[in-house]
Amino acid sequence: MGSTRTSQFGVVDESSVGVVTTPTLFLPTISFEWSAEDAQTSSEASVAGLYGLQEGQSNGGPVTVSGKWEGELTALGAGFWIKHALGAGGVSTTGSGPYTHTIAEPTTWDGHSFTAQAGITDDAGTTQPITLIGGKVKSYGLAYDQGEKLNVSVDLVGQRVDVGSRTLTSCETTNGSTAVTVTSAVDEYEGMSISGTGIPAGAWITAVNSATSVTISAAATADGTGLSLVVGKALATASYTTSGQKLLKQHHAHVSVAGTEVSIYGGSEEWVRPIDETDFRAGSRWSKEQKDNGELFEITGSFECEYNAALYAKYRAGTKFSLVRSFVAGSTSLTLTSKARITPGAEPKIDGRSRNKMTVPWMALGNTNADLLAAVLVNSESTI
């Protein structure tokens, strides 16, 4: 039987968007869920004498690939998600352990992606790879409450997903052709990666023509017979470092407004990237790269504190200010700086027998992209 004890989750940058890559960074994981939603397009036409659809009147449509990862904020892996959430502006690293990583302000992430792979053990005791390809961060969330650890949630989108991995023998390729002769092909192979001698990197199966024939996304680079080809992505060997796993918690958190620290109970924030979940084009059920869609990069959040008249006055006046959220534990730290304003909902209240508190919602804005968010991570990783 399978349990989460034998499950794993790993990520890695892709060299080119949609080129499946073996994960190298493995993250302790609270939860990971994924979906490959087949639209299953159905006919609206009627057939005389039938009360339902004929079999051929309902079949596969566009496939939407998405996922959600939840974990904790630690030194290890924090930079990977933040880098992919903010964009392709780059990372500047200084130091020699600990390292200081300055992550560029929000910008486009076109042309950049990652592979995410979960290993989920089935009822037969086999850990099956589930590999999301062409991954992008749709949104990044950070939350912490009184006396609690800092939790991270990441919404993902992808172009395709490989479910499992298997090897086909006695296959044939023709140089310059996208037709490949295989053994025992089944319909579920459509959309899955294919690799082996003469198969270009990043190739995938665009159509299953028959039990012995498939079409792939890129022409073979050599003639071949008797080949063994792999469909899907094999499960990566997980390796977890023992360093960098210390949890960042609420008591490591600090929030300052216009240079003055505010004594907070907890807080949360979410960064929503301006990309579409899918980009379907004629000729394929699978999405092309999800690119910048022209909407705004939304950064919002809130924190809870005792009633602070000066803070509420900033809301009433519409004041813009520097909002710094820092999380410091020994030599590990994450500092997030935004130009912000308080949004509606900050009114203090009387609530039973308790301290008089207020929840302060905010949004990031500014005259430059750097005003929206500047992120600096200090940890033991030489690269993120």
Cα three-residue angle 307-310-314, rounded to 5 degrees: 115
Query: pLDDT tens across 170-190, in order?
Result: 999 999 999 999 988 999 999
Where do runs of H (alpha helix) occur along the chain?
A: 78-86, 309-317, 369-372
User: Assign residue 147 a region: left if phi > 0, alpha if psi is -120 to 50, beta otherwise?
Assistant: left
DSSP states of 190-213 as a string? TT-BEESTTPPTT-BEEEEEETTE
Q: How is 29-50 classified by DSSP, letter by letter?
A: -SEEEEEEEE---B-----TT-
- Pick from 201, 218, 213, 192: nearest CA to 132: 192
Contact by Cβ (8 Å): 256, 287: no
Going by the DSSP 8-state scheme, the letter that residue 384 receives in this structure is -
Question: pTM of the entire structure?
Answer: 0.92
**Domain map of the chain by residue range?**
4-37+62-162+239-379, 165-232
State pLDDT tens for residues 321-368: 999 999 998 888 999 999 999 999 999 989 899 899 999 999 999 999
> Using CA atoms, how far apart are residues 231 and 196, in angstroms rounded to an integer?
9
The pLDDT tens digits for 216-253 are 999 999 999 999 999 999 999 999 887 777 788 888 99
Sign of CA dihedral 194, 200, 205, 207: negative
% of the chain residues with pLDDT over 70: 99
- Report the distance separating Cα 249 and Cα 73, nearest Å: 8
* Amino acid identity at 282: A
Question: Do 339 and 366 form a contact (C-beta atoms < 8 A)?
Answer: yes
